[in-house]
Amino acid sequence: MSTPVVGVLRLVAALAVVLLGALTVLVVLDILPRELLQVWSIKVLLVTGIIGVVALAVALLSRKGPE
């Protein structure tokens, strides 16, 4: 894998960790109900997976063929 793709995948993973952490803090502070954390956590993970797969697909499609 090329370095820009790895960078994008790391950025997406870091963003997911930050979002899940923020949601967890809001649940601990009783700002959000626990049920909402379950729903949003699943959605954040799904969106992260989709973005990761799209970044990988774009990287593979944009590779130069054999010269």
Domain boundaries, the chain: 9-59
**Any idea how long the chain is?**
67
- Write down the pTM of the prediction: 0.66
Residue pointed to by tokens 């499609």: 61
pLDDT at 29: 92
Q: Nearest CA to 37 among 28, 49, 50?
A: 28
Strands in the chain per DSSP E = none
Rounded Cα distance, 52 and 10, in Å: 9
Reading the chain (67 residues) residue by residue, the pLDDT tens digits are 567 777 877 888 888 888 888 888 988 999 989 888 888 888 888 888 888 888 888 877 777 666 5
